[in-house]
Structures are given as structure tokens and as C-alpha cells.
Amino acid sequence: MRWAWAFVLSFGFWLLLTWPPGWQELSVGLVAAVVATTFFGRMLRLKTVRRLFDPRRYFWAICYVLVLIYRIFVANLDVAYRVLHPEMPIKPGIVKVKTVLQNEVAKTVLANSITLTPGTLSVDITDDGYLYVHWINVRAMQEEEASSYIVGRFESLLRRIFE
Amino acid sequence: MITTLYIFIFFIIAAALVAVETPHALSAVIALGAVGFGLSIVCLFIGAPDIAITLVVVEILVLIHMIRATLQRDIITIMGPFSRLNVIATMLIFGIGVAFFYQVALQLPPFGQAVMTLIENSPSRFYLEESLNQTGAASAITAVLLDFRAYDTLGEATVIFTAIIGALALLRRTVKRERKGKGAGDA
Amino acid sequence: MPEKEGMSLIVKEVARLIAPPIFIFGLYLTLTGHLTPGGGFPGGVVFACGFILVVLAYGGKRAFRRLPPEGASKYDSGGALLFLVIGLIGSLVGGHFLYNFIQAALPGTVFHLLSAGTMPLINIAIGMKVAACLFMVVMALTLFRLAGEKGGES
């Protein structure tokens, strides 16, 4: 089952690359997809594939992109203000935040979103759901408060997309 | 177009100077990466997309590896006594080189004009005109590489093969010896 | 806590998502070398990058179980032999080395995938060779570095 899905996904990517398909592209693509599956099919997780067929997840993903763009925009203005201000009101430090997300892809997207947002940078992630984040202006030292500042904005949407 | 090209070339030269002059190994590696990415953009501008693709990929690979290799150590800068003779000799040799290069540069065709448009009956023209009829390949570059000049490509592949054998032979002996030493220590 | 192998979870997840598309893109570059910019050399480099990404992310031990570096030398030699065999068949059929015998016998339609005779085959050979070579070099460097670090500790 896993191999079949890996084959279908690699064949789909091949079709995207060689659009429009003729019989030559299709037949060569079959061979290419078999080769790709033998090398990388083991890396596919079946749970991930099942989630691909839920249209609500796509809707929440679009929402997430919009929210992320808004957050990046606001944080950009904030960091620009801190850089341009003559006194440079920064208070850099590394805080430990807790995420309730269980899915590994969701954790990865969360960490990358934190890094993409100016001012915060995810440094490390532990197996039991803690993230170490470098923050340009530490507003909260406590774990719960810092978590709600940094992670809380993204978490609910990410849970709807990935879990 | 040409102006952009010049800007990128000056960017490459500046990055190369930074790479040579900086005291930190990591900064030197990153500046070297800037040189490579600048070169790949220049390749895109002068119409060599395949080389640009390869350059970008190789550059990312080399950069990651160099960063991993240099993250822990730093360059040891050796400061010696300043010798005036050395500087004068270097400048003299550099000046002679520049003079010769200038003479050569005067002979070169102007930028952007291929040599084959200046010479009658040049083989490049033949390749461009005949590649589609004779080989049936849509990409003239591949037609030259793998049909008209396939023998050269075979030589190129042989060079890679030999280089890899040499590199592996040099590196593997050290690895085996280290492993043996470690195994003995564990046992 | 299990022994930490490879890089953090983030790098592993990204590698897992992106390595298969990199591999297929390498196949695409190699197989359509006679139609678009690309060919065996860039395609092979892209293949090798896909494998190296997996090895760097998941750490040596786990990745080498699936992609042993010894297997790479087989692909390397296989690519070189495929190139030579195509050349020799050309010299047997058409009279000179690397003669494009498929194009002479069955000329394909230009701008289609199956055209230009032996060129896609030679591209595949070169792609295999370049990928195996680059993979072996990087792995040799990595193993060398790891061995050096371990030697330094003891």
C-alpha cells in the first residue's frame, strides 16, 4: 500500500514536470516513478497520504498562509521600529516554549513559521514538545506566557491542518 | 543588461576579496558561497541555464559541507615580518601579468559576440546548423556533447572516474586506520 | 531517550518531504537532456544531492543501511560501462566509435522524449556516474571528518 502510494505520488510529480503528457512521457514516467519508489518509497507515511483527501485541511492551510503573511508583516514593522529607534529597545534572549502539537510535520511547520517571522528564531526542538526560541524582545520569561505569545497564534490552525 | 552583468561581476570580486581577507573561517566560507551564487546568476544572464542549475546545486552542497567542516575551527593567521622586497617583487610580477593580459584582451572579440560569427567556415556554425538534421536532438548543447563530441565527453567521464578513485584511495586509508584504532580501544 | 542520530526533527522532516521530489527532478533533468537545458551532468549532481541530504539529515548509520556507499561504486562502474558499450555497439554497427546507431535506424520525432537515438542512453550513463561519484566523494569526506573527530576525543 505504501509503495503504491509512493509510486502514484512520484508519477504525479513527473506529470507536473513533463506536462502536457503524451504516450512517450507516460511510459518513461512509469519507469522513472518505479526507480524513485525503490529508492525513496520507504520514507512515505501512510497517515500523511490519508490526510491529503480532506478538503477542509486545504481550506485551513490557505487560512494559515494568510495568517502567517499577516504575522510576518506585523513582525517586520516591529523589528524595523526596534532597529531604527535611536535607543534600540531590544531585550534578546532564548525562551523555552511548549507546543501541544504531536504530529511531526506540524512541529516542523511551526518551527519554520517561527523562524520566518522576524524577531523570533527557533533554535532547537526536543522530542517531548519543547521549542527553544531566540526572541529579539523577550516579553515573558515564564513558559506558559511565552508559549501563548509565540506558539499560540499558529497552534490552533496547525492542529486543524495536520491532526 | 550589460550594466547588471557588471554589477554582479563586481559583487563577485568583492565577495572574493572578503573571502581572502576575512579572519574568520566561517565568514570566508559564506563569502565563497556568495561568489558561487553570483556566478550562477551571471551564467543565467549570458544564456547558460544548464550551467546555472549545476552551479547552484553544487554551490549549496559545497556550502553546507564547508560550514559543517569549519564550524568548530578557525583559521590560524600567520603574521610574519614585513618584507619590502617581497611586496615589490609581487607587484612587479603582477604588473607584468596585467600587461600581457591587456595585450591578449585587445585581440579578443567584443563582449557578447561569439567567435564563430567572425570566422568563416567555423565548426561551431556547422554544429548549430546541422545538429537538428543530423542528430534529431532539440538541444544543440546536448547534440554537441553527446554526438559530435561524444568522444570528448567519454574522456571527461574518465577524468571524473580517475579523480574519484584517487580521492577515495587517499581518504579511505585514513578512515580504516582510525576505525581500527577505535575498535581496539573499545575492545 | 534514544541515541541522537542525525540532525534535529525539523531537518529530518524537511529532508523526508523534499528528497523524493529532488530525485525525480534529477531524473527529469537527465532524461530530457536532449530537449531542454540539462543532461547527465546536472541531473547526476541533483541525484547525488538528494541522497546526500538524506544522509546528512538522518545520520550515517541509519542512511547507510539503505544506501550503502559500496553500492555507489557499482553504479559508478555501471555508468562507465554503459557508455563504453553504447560506443562499441556504434562502432560495430555504423563503423565508427559512438555512432548514433538508433537515430540512423529509427529516427524519432524532434521535441519528443524518445528521439535523438543514443543520446538519452548516454545521458543516463553519465547521470549514474556523476551521481555515484559525487555521493562517494562527499561520503568519503564525511567519514573522514567523523573519524578525525573521534580520534581527537580518545
DSSP code string of B49-94: HHHHHHHHHHHHHHHHHHHHHHSS-----------HHHHHHHHHHH
Residue C3 lies in a domain: no
CB-CB under 8 Å, A107 with C9: yes
In a domain, C71, yes or no: yes
Type of residue at B73: R
Write down the ipTM of this complex: 0.80
Smallest CA–CA distance, residue C34 to chain B, in Å, is 5
Asked if residue C1 belongs to a domain, the reply is no
DSSP-assigned states of every residue in C12-60: HHHHHHHHHHHHHHHHHHHHTTTTSS--HHHHHHHHHHHHHHHHHHH-H
Min Cα distance B9 → chain C (Å) is 24
* Tens digit of pLDDT at every position of chain B (187 positions): 788 888 999 999 999 999 888 877 888 888 999 999 999 999 888 888 878 888 888 888 888 878 877 776 666 667 777 788 888 999 999 999 999 999 998 888 887 777 777 777 778 888 888 877 777 777 778 888 887 888 888 888 888 888 888 877 777 655 555 555 444 433 3
H or E segment and range at residue B97: helix B84-107
B148-181, pLDDT tens digit by residue?
888 888 888 888 888 888 877 777 655 555 555 4
Q: What is residue B173's predicted lDDT score, i.e. its pLDDT?
A: 53
Subunits next to B (3 or more Cβ pairs <8 Å) are C
Q: Sort out which chain A residues have CB atoms less than 8 A from C28's CB and list them.
A: 14, 17-18, 32
Instruction: Report how far residue B146's alpha carbon sits from residue B153's, in angstroms, rounded to the nearest whole number.
Output: 7
Closest residue of chain B to C108, computed from CA coordinates: B136
* Residues of chain A positioned with their CB less than 8 A from the CB of C36: none
Q: Are C24 and A17 within 8 A, CB to CB? A: yes
* Nearest CB partner across the interface for B146, out of C46, C76, C119: C119
Lowest pLDDT segment from A68-77, A122-131, C13-22, C133-142: C133-142
Which chains share 3+ C-beta pairs under 8 angstroms with A?
Answer: C
**C with A: touching (≥3 Cβ pairs within 8 Å):** yes
pLDDT score, position B35:
92
Tens digits of residue pLDDT in A79-98: 999 889 888 888 888 888 88
Q: What are the residues whose beta carbons fall under 8 Å from the beta carbon of B169, sequence distance 6 or more?
A: none
Q: What is the pLDDT of residue B184?
A: 41
Between CA A119 and CA A75 the distance in angstroms is 7
Do B64 and C56 form a contact (C-beta atoms < 8 A)? yes
CB contact C82 to A (< 8 Å):
no
pLDDT at A70: 92
- Residue of A10, A31, A108, A124 to mutate for C, most C C-beta atoms under 10 A: A108
pLDDT of residue C151: 44
Report the gap between the CA of B178 and the closest CA in chain C (Å).
6
Question: Residue B142 is inside which H or E element, if any?
Answer: helix B140-143
What distance in Å separates residue C54's CA from the closest CA in chain A?
10
C2 in a structural domain: no
Q: Which domain holds residue C15?
A: 9-112+119-153
The owner of cell 550594466 is: B3
CB < 8 Å to B160, chain C: 129-130, 133
Nearest to A13 among C24, C31, C67 (CB): C24
Q: CB of C48 within 8 A of CB of C75? A: no
Q: Tell me, what's the pLDDT at B92?
A: 95
In chain C, the number of structural domains is 1
Distance from A19 to chain C by nearest Cα, in Å?
Answer: 12
Q: What is the pLDDT of residue B75?
A: 62
Residue C38, domain member (yes or no): yes
pLDDT in tens, chain C (154 residues): 344 566 778 888 888 888 888 888 888 888 887 787 777 888 888 888 888 888 888 876 766 776 676 777 788 888 888 888 888 888 888 777 877 777 777 777 777 777 777 788 888 888 888 888 888 887 777 666 555 554 433 2
Mean pLDDT of chain A: 86
